[in-house]
Structure 1
Amino acid sequence: MATVILNAKIYLERGRFARALLVEDGIVRAVGTNEEVLAQAPAEYETFDACGRTIVPGFNDSHQHLLNTGIALSDIRLHTAKSIAEVKEIARRYIAERKPAPGTVLHGMGWNQDYFEDESRLLTAADLDDISTDYPIIFERACGHLLTANTAAVRLAGITAETPDPEGGSIGRDAEGNPNGIFAENARKPIRALMAERSVDELVELIRIGMAHAAETGVTSVQTCDLRPGSWERTLEAYERVAAEGASTRVYHQSHFHNPDDYRAFLAAGHVTGTGTPMHRFGPLKLFIDGSLGARTALMRHPYNDDPTTSGIATLTPEQIDELVGIAVENKCSVAVHAIGDLAVERMLDAYDKVTNGSNPLRLGIVHVQITDRPLVERFTKNDILALVQPIFLHYDTRIVEDRVGKDLASTSYAFGTMQKLGIHMSFGTDSPIEDMNPIDNLYCAVTRRTLDGTPEGGWHPEECLTVEEAVDAYTLEGAYASFEENVKGRLLPGYYADLVVLSEDIFTMPVEELRRTKVDATMTAGRFVYQREGA
């Protein structure tokens, strides 16, 4: 059945809008005035009266973790905790309500010590022991690059005072050298291995939970990092089942492999960039080469301003990076690499210099690109390297970045306006569940350079603000470019996918400071409404 959308303000491209739109077979067939579109409609169609509301292309989150979003919405949620005491209260309430079976490994996500009002410090095993000594407990920090485990979990993992720090990771220790429950980067692996493998049925349910959240926030496409060594076959089976049964979200996999043999086996199974269906496709190799700013594991050229004992953690050596990138390029696959610190970004640009020559047909990219000076940003233009960024990170990072890296380097970081002016292919994501998937908050941070509570007035380095049109394009058309779909996705023009979002407000004319009052009233994916807000 065709659908005609009438009486709307439909964003087509900068400075150009339409009143109506015709959808057939999941594709936009016509745009124009109400009369023009109705004249092209088939004999039978359904009508959606937008009542003057603004419609934009479906948001394309260019980097996140959809499966982990489902997990975060299902396990112990610590994102709102404002104190260590509240972390304990949330966990105790979860145990009391859920009554997990004895020996169950409890998992939580989202705590951030910089939000704690009682003690601004990392959680330790002692804190989690105060919740329970019977259950092994693993709580992952908001960044996902550091976790804390209680004593029961540390013992179960076999970690002792004699256990050495692994390459690319660190084990926190007390004054006597005993593990204190804090594990960063590659040291997390034996702790995370304690969590029971989830069945395919469980994974299907978690993916659907993540997709439902995507639909209610207006996200119609996700570029998601969920396929990993040791579990990718089972996770892929779950995604294929969801796609076959009717998915509400388009999926483009950023597949994480750090061992060359594992990656070659994945490629040998036929999972190269571009294969798949319009609803479920394979994308780039995803690498992690450093950590996070909040955990001081982002790899910096110089020691941290507020902790000169460390410059962060390199989770892969330059030689390992070169080998993995080389395998991808040899197989005509794209690459997307987590790099936050300036040295991490520099190393990735160095690696890409070796496999490009003024152009970037494989659309090699760097995810996050947070800490930069101007010459580092300009280097992206040399080989047309993509930047997959998260403006929502400004909400938290502006509170800590000057302490971490100093005022001068902070002033040239999160350089979204500079990237736009230089013509860099810059797309938006949220890294969900690191931050919520909500595109409206992401847009707000991009165009105001403020935290979600509105500070600082005038914005943090407002010279880097984007216009609403620039931000929407980064979230739609540029996201499509990152997945080689800019000719079918990211615009509402004839021949493009009918992926769209009906908004409660006109984001193009309202004061940008008020953007956050915008609601998603309806979401359409592939010509089908997958979400409609109650009462809208």
Structure 2
Amino acid sequence: MPRRTLAACAGAFIAFGAHAQTVIDNANGYTLNAAGELVRFQSLAFDGKGRIVAVGSAADVAAKAAGFRHVDVQGKTVLPGLIDAHGHVFGLGQVATAAELYSSTSLDGAVRTVAQYAKANPGRAWVVGNGWNQEIWKLGRFPTAQELDAAVPDRPALMRRVDGHAVWVNSSALALAGITKETKDPAGGKIERDAQGNATGILVDGAMELVTKVLPPSTEAEARAALEGALAVLGKNGLTSVHDAGIGVAEDKLYRAYADGGKLTTRVYAMIGDTGEDFDKLAAHGPLPTYADDVYALSAVKLYADGALGSRGAALIKPYTDAPHTHGLLFYKDAEIRGKMEKAMKAGYQVNVHAIGDGGNRQILDSYATLLKKYPAKNLRHRIEHAQVVALADIPRFKTLGIIPSMQPTHATSDQNMAEQRVGPQRIEGAYAWRTFLKQGDRIACGSDFPIESPNPFEGMHAAVTRQDMRGVPAAGWHKEQAMTLKEAFRCFTLDAAYAARQEKVIGSLEAGKWADFVVTDRDLFAIPAGEIGKVGVLETWVAGRQVYKK
């Protein structure tokens, strides 16, 4: 799915053009105001710097925008630019150059796809792919190295699982990484083994590094190609801002260069990946809350508590319902993860921790409860990324501690085929529990976790409102009691996503003084049946008053 989208957008990368004082006229406009209420408008004016001067009726806006040029959108719907609060920008761009397994529906089909890709790319030292999901294949088990050997017998091969928390490698990759029967599971990771103790070819979470550390690093040219490809996709999907969940020194350097050159056509709120060497280098001068007119920011840190539900790496308090021998994996002991969080907090960074299982979420909530007494700065707005399966007793702690749940609606509709089997009927009540969080007054920051899921925010809103996948399954909605209203879903991809990046005063809605980030769509989001929300198409995307995408 992401690969097809990327290919379709590859030619859509547009560097910023010149600013002009402009009025967008004849719009069927919707935005939220500062109070989160939905308001309508006909016209939108912005100045030569790309900041909004006026929003409202045609007459009111014209009175404040004498001499401005006019662009007639002919009654089409105009919305604030959409924000994805959790994605992986370079990963999205890299999908285009790897084997695409997101659409594979069987093991045999996946093996054929990899074999075809390997044959078409004889010069690649490694054969790399993304997107496999053994649950869709209905294998009842993970695939094996020998099965991947059938596709790639002559060089190492590595296929990332759809959730990014497990890799499937062939025998050549296992040998190159030095993984043998004697290799111990690393902290926070698991080497899947057969009855004799031999590695089967599946490495979960922390064990993935055993192989990824011997992968050849990307060249700068490849990184630039990935960034430009990703920006093209983001523009086509109406995303004017994204939160990049985990970057290092190389990515930061590229982001700044693109921002300086006017080529960063989607705003990026970046999180430093972990608190190791890259953090030490990037944090030497403290957080970077804004750069190049709010196009870039680097003032958050991304950490991991556990793995994913599909690979049973998510840490649960009690054993998995469908695998009673395992609780999943916490990546770190309590003191270790708390030490990482404290290092970031002490340096003034927002801390955003990936936690999927109820055990992972509890560990991080406990850590916040301890650390916030020492570092009480509420303006940092710390987050838990995913907050996917949370013990019912722990959900109120998000509100009490002021922790933002950063959630991805399409995860629920993608996981419906296995989530309840994993955690059972009681724990599922605290899983993907958007209504429960909203009812207690939390702001949810919505994203997609692209390229794991589609970057299309309208598909995210569709999942949030209908609790159905894009095929309309299940007909009644999966645990529909946790659905959002359309206004709530719209808000979590705009104003509340901006709030989670401490940017609600500059983006997230169309109000005077904010940046003119907006999209023009092919249908009225607020006048179509719920089942059509995911079909809304973007015709134009504008960032700071500059058109960066046109269909």
TM-score, normalised by the number of residues in structure 2: 0.92
In structure 2, the residue matched to 1:531 is 549
Distance 1:123 1:26 in 2: 52
- Aligned residue for 2:379, secondary structure, equals coil
Which residue number in structure 2 is paired with residue 162 of structure 1? 182
Task: Report if aligned partners of 1:204, 1:242 keep a CA contact under 8 Å in 2.
Answer: no
Q: 1:177: how far off?
A: 1.7
Match of 1:19 in 2: 42
Match of 2:157 among 137, 147, 152: 137
1:52 corresponds to 2:75: yes
CA contact (8 A) 1:221 1:250 kept: yes
Hey, what does 1:93 align to over in structure 2? 116
Q: Structure 1 226/367 Cα, relative in aligned 2: closer, same or farther at 3 Å?
A: closer
Instruction: Output aligned runs, 1:420-499, within 5 Å.
Output: 420-499=438-517
Instruction: Provide the C-alpha distance between the structure 2 equivalents of 1:336 and 1:226, rounded to a whole number of angstroms.
Output: 10
Q: Which residue number corresponds to residue 221 of structure 2? A: 201
In the alignment, is residue 281 of structure 1 matched against residue 301 of structure 2? no
User: Per-residue deviation at 1:235?
Assistant: 2.2
1:244 to 246, 253, 260: 260
1:121 aligns with 2:141: yes
Contact 2:420 2:428 in 1 (8 A): yes
Matched, 1:333 2:349: yes
* Cα distance in 2 for residues equivalent to 1:262 and 1:253: 13
Counterpart AA for 1:523: T
**How high is the TM-score relative to the length of structure 1?**
0.94
Secondary structure at the residue paired with 1:382?
A: helix
Of 41, 65, 68, which residue of structure 1 is paired with 2:65? 41
CA distance in 1, matches of 2:76, 2:440: 33
Aligned match of 1:514: 532
2:106 corresponds in structure 1 to 83
* Aligned with residue 322 of structure 1, among 335, 338, 355: 338
Give the alignment partner of residue 385 of structure 1, picking from 390, 398, 403: 403
Task: Report the alpha carbon displacement of residue 236 of structure 1 after superposing the two structures with TM.
Answer: 2.0
Answer yes or no: is the 8 Å Cα contact 1:306–1:403 preserved in 2: yes
- How far the C-alpha of 1:121 sits from its partner, in A, is 3.1
**C-alpha distance in 1 between matches for 2:541 and 2:474:** 32
Secondary structure in 1 aligned to 2:401?
Answer: coil
Residue matched to 1:213: 233
Aligned counterparts of 1:42 and 1:244: Cα–Cα separation in 2: 31
Instruction: Return closer, same or farther for 1:208/1:262 CA change in 2, 3 Å cut-off.
Output: closer
Distance between the aligned counterparts of 1:336 and 1:317, measured in 2? Answer: 18
- Find the partner of 1:190 among 204, 210, 213: 210
8 Å contact kept, 1:273–1:334: no
Question: What's the C-alpha RMSD, in Å, of the aligned pairs?
Answer: 1.6
CA distance in 1, matches of 2:504, 2:295: 15
Displacement after TM superposition at 1:273 (Å): 5.1
Which of 104, 107, 126 is equivalent to 1:105? Answer: 126
Q: d(CA) in 1 for partners of 2:254 and 2:530?
A: 40
State the shift of 1:466 in Å. Answer: 1.1
Structure 1: gaps (5+ residues): none
Asked if the contact 1:143/1:292 (under 8 Å) is kept, the reply is: yes
Q: Which moved more, 1:8-17 or 1:473-482?
A: 8-17
Counterpart of 2:3?
none
Structure 1: which amino acid aligns with 2:291?
G
Q: Which residue of 2 aligns with 1:371?
A: 389
Three-state SS of the structure 1 residue aligned to 2:54 is strand
The equivalent residue for 1:68 is 91
Instruction: Describe the SS at the equivalent of 2:393.
Output: helix
1:403 paired residue number: 421
CA displacement 1:228-251 (0-9 Å, x = unmatched):
xxxx22222222222222211101
Secondary structure, aligned partner of 1:17:
strand
> 1-side partners of 2:39 and 2:68: how far apart?
29
Counterpart CA distance in 1 for 2:395 and 2:288 is 26
Distance 1:371 1:234 in 2: 33
How far the C-alpha of 1:359 sits from its partner, in A, is 7.1
Alignment-derived partner of residue 271 in structure 2: 254
> Match of 1:446, SS?
helix
SS, match of residue 355 in structure 1 = helix
Distance 1:153 1:354 in 2: 42
C-alpha displacement of 1:258: 4.8
Task: Evaluate the alpha carbon distance shift between residue 258 and residue 148 of structure 1 in structure 2; reply closer, same or farther with a 3 A threshold.
Answer: farther
CA contact (8 A) 2:355 2:387 kept: yes
For 1:138 and 1:110, the matched residues in 2 are separated by 11
Counterparts of residues 258-273 of structure 1 (less than 5 Å): 258-259=275-276, 263-268=279-284, 270-272=285-287
SS at match of 2:331: coil
Q: Cα deviations across residues 20-66 of structure 1 (Å, max 9, x unaligned)?
A: 10122211111111222223224242x33222222211111111100
Gaps of 5+ in 2: 1-19
* Structure 2 residue aligned with 1:362: 380
Distance 1:166 1:314 in 2: 12
